[in-house]
Amino acid sequence: MNGELIWVLSLLAIAVVLFATGKVR
């Protein structure tokens, strides 16, 4: 488990959530 991989996955998850929320609104 690399810290960078976790950071990338976290950023991707946040970006997807923000995009989905903005799309819904």
Residue 24 pLDDT exceeds 90: no
How is 1-25 classified by DSSP, letter by letter? --HHHHHHHHHHHHHHHHHHHHHH-
Q: Where are the domains of the chain?
A: 1-25
One-letter amino acid of 13 = A
Whole-angstrom CA distances from 25 to 1, 14, 22 are 35, 16, 5
Helix (H, G, I), strand (E, B) or coil at 1: coil
pTM: 0.60
- Report pLDDT digits (tens) over 1-22: 689 999 999 999 999 999 999 9
The pLDDT, as a whole number, for residue 1 is: 62
Q: Answer with the residue of higher pLDDT: 25 or 18.
A: 18
Given the structure tokens 């946040």, which residue do they identify?
14
